[in-house]
Amino acid sequence: MASFAKPENALKRAEELINVGQKQDALQTLHDLFTSRRHRAWQKPLERSMFKYIELCVDLRRGRFAKDGLIQYRIICQQVNVSSLEEVIKHFMHLSTERAEQARTQAQALEEALDVEDLEADKRPEDLMLSYVSGEKGKDRSDRELVTPWFKFLWETYRTVLEILRNNSKLEALYAMTAHRAFQFCKQYKRTTEFRRLCEIIRNHLANLNKYRDQRDRPDLSAPESLQLYVDTRFEQLKVATELELWQEAFRSVEDIHGLMCMVKKTPKSSLMAVYYAKLTEIFWISSSHLYHAYAWFRLFLLQKSFNKNLSQKDLQLIASSVLLAALSVNPYDHTRSASHLDIENEKERNLRMANLIGFNLETKLEGKEVLSRSSLLSELVAKGVLSCVTQEVKDLYHLLEHDFFPLDLASKVQPLLNKISKFGGKLLSAPSVPEVQLSQYVPAMEKLTTLRLLQQVSQVYEIMRIESLSRMIPFFDFATVEKISVDAVKHNFVALKVDHMKGVVIFDNMGLESEILRGHLTNLAETLNEARSMIYPPARNVSRLGELLPSLAEIVDKEHKRLLARKSLIEKRKEEEERKLLEKERLEESKRIELQKITEEAERKRLASEYEERKNERIRREIEERELAEAQALLQEASHRIKWKGKKPAFEGDKLTKQSVMELTLSEQLRERQEMEKKLQKLAKTMDYLERAKREEAAPLVEAAYQQRLVEERVLHEREQQQEIELSKQRHDTELKEKERLARIKNNKEIFQARVVSCREEENTRFRREREERVSQILQSRRQEREKMRKLKFYLSLEEERQKKLHEEEEARKLEEAERIRKEQAERKAKLDEIAEKQRQRERELEEKERQRREALLGKSTEVPLRTSEPPAVARPSEPGSAAPAAAAAATAAAKYVPRFKRTESSGQAPPPETDRWGGNKQDDRLPQASDRWRSDDRRSSSGSSFGGGGGRFASTWSSSRNPPRGSER
């Protein structure tokens, strides 16, 4: 599809395609308009194109296309014209809602049309066949075909709009309105699954807002308007969750509200807080958390009493009665008394969490007292004056259950009060945010509390009581229910009793050792002994306060000095910390700058890649269009062979020939043939219907006659079977009477056998219990011995580890000493070797000196011979190597050239040839040592008396003598 340079051209092309019934191509045209990178500025034609694009998406139910288009339009309008984006989104939601309502209305109309007396008259043959094949009813089928697709599209619309507006600070009101409409959609059509997903979506949006705080258009939650919108949305979520009875989601909504308020450190309005606590009461009552339910009612009572100026006395009395009854409904014993340490810690965390939710504290701090308990709640109710606001019946019930002592007629006094209380309740006219209050819901809890109080008071008076007497004293429950209640109370150490069903009595144990008076007897004894000790040994009086202060004055000065030094070091550390923070800040800014530069480069690279991808897609699109044109022509030729065209064969122009148009034409011709076939089938069905009706009319008299004959036969058969049943009953009765007389003779034997079996089983039970106690004691003894053995083993292992560690340290110290000794020995050996090398070098120098003197003497004799000859000096031939040195000396004298000083001699004008070493240097022992000599000596010393350093002088002398042999010597 070609892209347009102007939006009005694309809109015009789309309208043309819509007029000819090609809505899909029109949608694709507008989609290409918005996804292309040409149009990045808002224009009025672009807005009209967007409205048409949304209408096409709704008509064709293309939610993904609508989402892509809205995202691109948001990028265009975000900084220029946000109101245009708002109008487009509102239009999108309006169209989706309208189509969903139309589908629902159409489904209802279809259902009403099918609701007729004669179903066979209106049903077509295909409907009858479908009803036989499918088990669905007409309403289910119509909902699945008509309503469900539009509801899915409407839900997708809400999700799309929320996703687009989640980070838009300029359209917060539209975001809140969309969330409210989505909540109402879930509430109206009972969509619980979608409601959970919607809550999770909104929760994730808020979490992302807090996570990415540096976004460009992020909403500011500290602003009052934004905060109010978010809070209203959460409260609407809470209301819908309770109306749909999704209590878990309702509790999570309460946590969302609490987290939002902790985030911004601001409490909502009192009207919203009333809704908050009212919903909390419902949630806690459903979850059977009576303690938290009572605290929520108490907070609601305080809120209504403080802020609701229009609250009537009747409504206040009803709320106060609910508060007191909710507090009395809490079990009077602690469930964590016999729990494990882990359960107790979990219960403390849970109580702290619920205290924050109920108290709506923005700072979670533990107080010294217990966080939540029944006793503290009742004391707060008395202190806050709740008892003065309740009805007289509730007040009397409170005194009977908490303060009075009537062990025999407590239930009889409580029952008429409960009958009166159960009739109280109704809607609160002056407090619309509070739901309907019914005091009858607390009656079962009050009956259970009355039973517990009666058992507690009876246990203080009686030691044993018959079960019948106790059942008569408790008219609310039968004894089985009372036994269940007492078992739970005994488990949590509220009462101590045993039920003996053999004797039919209830035995109350003595709980005096566990009473409040004797529970702290050791503490009281310690306090009394401490007082007696202070009376016997009174503390010494202070003679002089100044005398006490003077000895400690130096210590005080020292401490003050140390404190000042510590303060100085602390200040220096803080300065260093500030400098480190500044450096860290600069490093972070530099890293952000580098990261921003990388992001810019990455964006440029992506832009180039996208442009390349667009060109590639355009080329592929052209190839696809050419291929589709060829396929369309092939399809047209094939269809012309298969279909008999009725009338003139259609002709297409070059641009209008597409695969879609050929397929539509082929489908229309096939549909026409199918319709003709259906008309023939309808005519045949009508004929078959007439034939079947005629058959049934002929068979109706015969069926009636057979029915009457069958009635007569069945009546005779029934009378005969009735007579046989009467005779069998008489025989059975006589037989059972004889059996009763026979069994009556052994009744006494049966009772004796029963008593013997019961006594044997009692003895066996006693024996088993004794054996179990012995086995338990043996297990405890073995476990105690095992613990003692493990303790000794751990102690032995610790001692062995210490011994091994000490041996290891001694071994390390020994190794260090050995290494130090070896190092010293090597140093001494090296010194000795150096001394020996020095002596060797001294001897070599002496030998070299003697050799040099001998060589000089020989050279002096050789130079005197050519001077005494009368032959003129001539150049020595190469074949006479022995005369090379004298000839060179004569030539130098004859030419009167300059002779260096080191070649001259004091005795004669001839200088002996210099003796050169291996590297061409002169060997003069009477001069100062040169750098090469120092290097050579260092080299000899470092080699520690090696053969090369020790014999270096001898080798050099031999080599130099071979280079300058004496005259007359042979080579």
Instruction: Give the Cα separation of 439 and 418 in Å (integer).
Output: 10
Q: Model confidence over 81-95: pLDDT tens digits? A: 888 888 888 888 888
The single residue listed with the structure tokens 């003894």 is 781
Residue 943 scores a pLDDT above 50:
no
Side by side, the strands of the sheet bearing 497-500 are 464-466, 505-508, 497-500
Instruction: Give the Cα separation of 178 and 197 in Å (integer).
Output: 15
Instruction: Give the Cα separation of 60 and 18 in Å (integer).
Output: 12
The number of CA neighbours under 13 Å toward the Cβ of 925 is 13
Max CA distance (Å), the chain:
189
Q: What is the mean pLDDT of residues 515-524?
A: 59
Structure tokens, 266: 């601001």
- A 10 A CB-CB count for 611 gives 11
Instruction: Give the Cα separation of 485 and 498 in Å (integer).
Output: 13
- Predicted local confidence at residue 724, as pLDDT: 92
Instruction: Give the Cα separation of 506 and 499 in Å (integer).
Output: 5
CB 234 within 8 A of CB 257: yes
The continuous run of DSSP H or E covering 437 comes out as: strand 437-438
Q: What is the mean pLDDT of the chain?
A: 78
Q: What is the mean pLDDT of residues 860-878?
A: 44
Q: What is the mean pLDDT of residues 288-298?
A: 89
Burial environment of residue 453 by CB neighbours within 10 A (0 to 12, 13 to 18, 19 or more): buried
Strand partners, 426: 437
Structure tokens, 263: 């985030």
Instruction: Give the Cα separation of 173 and 229 in Å (integer).
Output: 7
Reduced to 3 states (helix: H, G, I; strand: E, B; else coil), residue 194 is helix
Q: What is the mean pLDDT of residues 578-597?
A: 86
Identify residue 701 by its one-letter amino acid code: P
- Predicted local confidence at residue 761, as pLDDT: 94
The pair phi, psi for residue 437, each rounded to 5°, is -105, 125
Query: pLDDT band at residue 792, thresholds of 50, 70 and 90?
Result: very high
Report for 82-96, 609-623, 781-795, 856-870: range of highest mean pLDDT: 781-795
Instruction: Give the Cα separation of 32 and 475 in Å (integer).
Output: 80
Identify residue 919 by its one-letter amino acid code: W
Alpha-carbon distance values, 359 to 188, 278, 280, 315, 345 (Å): 33, 13, 11, 23, 21
- Predicted local confidence at residue 801, as pLDDT: 92
Q: What is the mean pLDDT of residues 220-231?
A: 83
The number of CA neighbours under 13 Å toward the Cβ of 40 is 2
- Predicted local confidence at residue 553, as pLDDT: 72
Structure tokens, 830: 């090296």
CB 464 within 8 A of CB 505: yes
- Predicted local confidence at residue 547, as pLDDT: 53
The number of CA neighbours under 13 Å toward the Cβ of 680 is 6
Instruction: Give the Cα separation of 358 and 372 in Å (integer).
Output: 10
Closest of 220, 243, 126, 240 to residue 169, by C-alpha: 220
The single residue listed with the structure tokens 């938290």 is 292
Positive or negative torsion for Cα 535, 538, 539, 545: positive
Contacts 24+ apart (CB under 8 A), 217-221: 217/78, 217/167, 217/168, 217/169, 217/170, 218/167, 218/169, 219/167, 219/168, 219/169, 219/172, 220/169, 221/260, 221/263, 221/264
Identify residue 470 by its one-letter amino acid code: L
Instruction: Give the Cα separation of 54 and 88 in Å (integer).
Output: 8
> Phi-psi category of 137—alpha, beta or left, where left has phi over 0 and alpha has psi -120 to 50?
beta
Query: pLDDT band at residue 4, thresholds of 50, 70 and 90?
Result: low
- A 10 A CB-CB count for 318 gives 24
Identify residue 135 by its one-letter amino acid code: G
Query: pLDDT band at residue 541, thresholds of 50, 70 and 90?
Result: low
Residue 831 scores a pLDDT above 50:
yes
| Local structure of residue 171 (DSSP, 8 states) | G
The continuous run of DSSP H or E covering 421 comes out as: helix 410-421
| Local structure of residue 513 (DSSP, 8 states) | G
Q: Which residues contact 174 (CB under 8 A, 6 or more apart)?
A: 86, 89, 90, 161, 165
The single residue listed with the structure tokens 């300029």 is 170
The continuous run of DSSP H or E covering 408 comes out as: none
Q: What is the mean pLDDT of residues 92-106?
A: 85
- Predicted local confidence at residue 833, as pLDDT: 92
The pair phi, psi for residue 500, each rounded to 5°, is -110, 100
- Predicted local confidence at residue 836, as pLDDT: 92
Instruction: Give the Cα separation of 238 and 246 in Å (integer).
Output: 10
Query: pLDDT band at residue 937, thresholds of 50, 70 and 90?
Result: very low
Closest of 148, 236, 127, 142 to residue 187, by C-alpha: 236
Instruction: Give the Cα separation of 921 and 846 in Å (integer).
Output: 19
The single residue listed with the structure tokens 């310690």 is 526
**Is the entire prediction scored with pTM above 0.85?**
no
Positive or negative torsion for Cα 422, 424, 429, 431: negative
Query: pLDDT band at residue 670, thresholds of 50, 70 and 90?
Result: confident
- Predicted local confidence at residue 77, as pLDDT: 82
Residue 144 scores a pLDDT above 60:
no
Q: What is the mean pLDDT of residues 648-658?
A: 54
| Local structure of residue 406 (DSSP, 8 states) | -
Q: Model confidence over 385-438: pLDDT tens digits? A: 888 889 999 999 999 999 888 888 899 999 999 999 888 887 777 777 777 888
- Predicted local confidence at residue 757, as pLDDT: 94
The number of CA neighbours under 13 Å toward the Cβ of 102 is 9
Q: Model confidence over 606-643: pLDDT tens digits? A: 888 888 888 888 888 888 888 877 777 777 777 766 66
Structure tokens, 833: 């070797």
Instruction: Give the Cα separation of 370 and 866 in Å (integer).
Output: 131
Burial environment of residue 271 by CB neighbours within 10 A (0 to 12, 13 to 18, 19 or more): middle
- Predicted local confidence at residue 427, as pLDDT: 79
Closest of 240, 151, 149, 245 to residue 202, by C-alpha: 240
Q: Which residues contact 703 (CB under 8 A, 6 or more apart)?
A: none
Q: What is the mean pLDDT of residues 149-168?
A: 87
Q: What is the mean pLDDT of residues 548-562?
A: 73
- A 10 A CB-CB count for 342 gives 8
CATH of 269-363+371-450, one of 3.40.1130, 3.30.43, 1.25.40, 3.40.50: 1.25.40
Instruction: Give the Cα separation of 776 and 287 in Å (integer).
Output: 40
Percentage of the residues of the chain whose pLDDT score is greater than 70: 76
Residue 880 scores a pLDDT above 50:
no
Residue 441 scores a pLDDT above 80:
yes
Positive or negative torsion for Cα 88, 89, 93, 99: positive
Query: pLDDT band at residue 887, thresholds of 50, 70 and 90?
Result: very low
CB 852 within 8 A of CB 915: yes
DSSP 715-761: HHHHHHHHHHHHHHHHHHHHHHHHHHHHHHTTHHHHHHHHHHHHHHH
The single residue listed with the structure tokens 């000895």 is 551
Instruction: Give the Cα separation of 210 and 232 in Å (integer).
Output: 19
Structure tokens, 331: 């079990």
Residue 811 scores a pLDDT above 50:
yes
Neighbour-count burial for 875-898, b at 16+ CB within 10 Å, e otherwise: ebeeeeeebebbbebbeeeeeeee
Alpha-carbon torsion angle 406, 407, 412, 413, nearest 10:
20
- Predicted local confidence at residue 756, as pLDDT: 93
Instruction: Give the Cα separation of 891 and 872 in Å (integer).
Output: 11
Structure tokens, 517: 């008076």
The number of CA neighbours under 13 Å toward the Cβ of 614 is 14
Angle 618-620-621 (CA atoms, 0-180°, nearest 5)? 60
Query: pLDDT band at residue 368, thresholds of 50, 70 and 90?
Result: very low
- For residue 800, the Cα-to-chain-centroid distance in whole angstroms is 47
